[in-house]
Amino acid sequence: MRTIAVIALKGGSGKTTVATHIALAAHLRGLKTVVADTDPQRSATEVLRARDGLGPTSVGAIGSSLFAAQIAAVGSGMDTMVIDTAAGAVEDVAQAIVVADYSLLVVRPTLMDIAAAVRTVDIIRRLRKPAMIVVNQAPTARDGVEPPSVKRALRALEVMRLPVVPTLLRSRAIYQSALETGKSVEECYDVNAAREIAALWTFIERFTFGKRDTPPPPDAAEDEDLKFAP
Ligand SMILES: Nc1ncnc2c1ncn2[C@@H]1O[C@H](COP(=O)(O)OP(=O)(O)O)[C@@H](O)[C@H]1O
Ligand SMILES: [Mg+2]
């Protein structure tokens, strides 16, 4: 089983949005998937509940019970576990990083958010665990050129010395409206958002597990258009 923790000590960066989308991406590709929801607000659990059982299962956990949840998930034949974490919960985030094969640090492309991410990166380093950064809520590139704020943010992210997912998740209303009905953007009629999530999933698979053992999603990440614009 693969375990991916979605982390950020900052609230509102998009952890739940990314965690549920990754879990749904795995589910839609035929993988048995569980979300371990360590946020007391249980937002990910609420999102998945809207699917009436047709989707990833979810289990409430706190940091110290994550390992038990992971063992239980292996026992019930799960292929993938995605951990959603709460903002500011240092202990829970550290536990999630420890049990995960890979952590995905979600940051918005603003200097304030990146400065706030330094603390999370520090925890990752101390724990000596692999992680990568996904940029979420990026403003759209115009005429193929990234806004200066995004370019600055990408340069600032280099300081973290962690791999950055080469597809930025743009700020799109569909990310919010899709989850309100328990759906991934891959199940909605928004080609651009669907391609972003497919590309994110493909990158996670390649990068973290070094192999592709699920069918390639339709026109996914090989797509040059989805990489950072110049
Ligand atoms: N890429 C995106 N585009 C537009 N809205 C987004 C995007 N990602 C997250 N949001 C919105 O931002 C808010 C915070 O996202 P959420 O996933 O709940 O963050 P967190 O779990 O880190 O607190 C939510 O209203 C969510 O719908
Ligand atoms: Mg959340």
DSSP labels, 48-77:
HHTTTTSS-EEEE--GGGHHHHHHHHHHTT
List the domain range (segments joined by +) for residue 171: 2-226
Atom of ligand 1 nearest to the CA of 179: 27
Is residue 139 in contact with ligand 1, taking CB distance under 6 Å?
no
Which atom of ligand 1 is closest in space to residue 11's alpha carbon?
A: 23
Please name which ligand lies nearest the alpha carbon of 12: 1
| Enclosing H/E stretch for 105 | strand 102-107
What global pTM score does this model have? 0.92
Atom nearest to 13 CA in ligand 1: 22
63 pLDDT band (50/70/90 cuts)? Answer: confident
Bridge-partner residues for 107, per DSSP? 135
- What's the CA-to-centroid distance between 180 and ligand 1, angstroms? 12
Cβ–Cβ under 8 Å, residues 12 and 107: no
CA dihedral (148, 152, 157, 163) positive or negative: positive
Ligand 1 lined by 137 (C-beta under 6 Å): yes
Distance CA 91, CA 171 (A): 30
Helices (H) and strands (E) in the chain, counts: 8, 6
Q: Which atom of ligand 1 approaches the CA of 10 most closely?
A: 22
Count of beta carbons in the 10 Å neighbourhood of residue 10: 21
Tens of pLDDT along 122-169?
999 999 999 999 999 999 988 889 999 999 999 999 999 899 999 999
Does the C-beta of 217 come closer than 6 Å to ligand 1? no
Pocket lining: 176 vs ligand 1, CB cutoff 6 Å:
yes
What CA–CA distance (Å, rounded) separates 91 from 123? 10
pLDDT at 229: 56
Ligand 1 lined by 12 (C-beta under 6 Å): yes
> What CATH number does the domain containing 17 carry?
3.40.50.300
CA distances from 205 to 26, 118, 165, 212 (A): 10, 25, 12, 6
Q: How far apart are the first and last CA of the chain?
A: 37
| Res 213: pLDDT | 46
Question: Ligand 1: which residue has its CA nearest to atom 27?
Answer: 176
Asked if residue 207 has pLDDT above 80, the reply is no
Average model confidence (pLDDT) across the chain: 91
The number of distinct structural domains making up the chain is: 1
Nearest in space to 55 (alpha carbons), one of 212, 197, 190, 184: 184
Q: Compute how many other C-beta atoms are within 10 angstroms of the C-beta atom of residue 25.
A: 27
User: Which of the 8 DSSP states describes residue 180?
Assistant: H
- State the distance from the centre of ligand 1 to the C-alpha of 103, rounded, in angstroms: 18
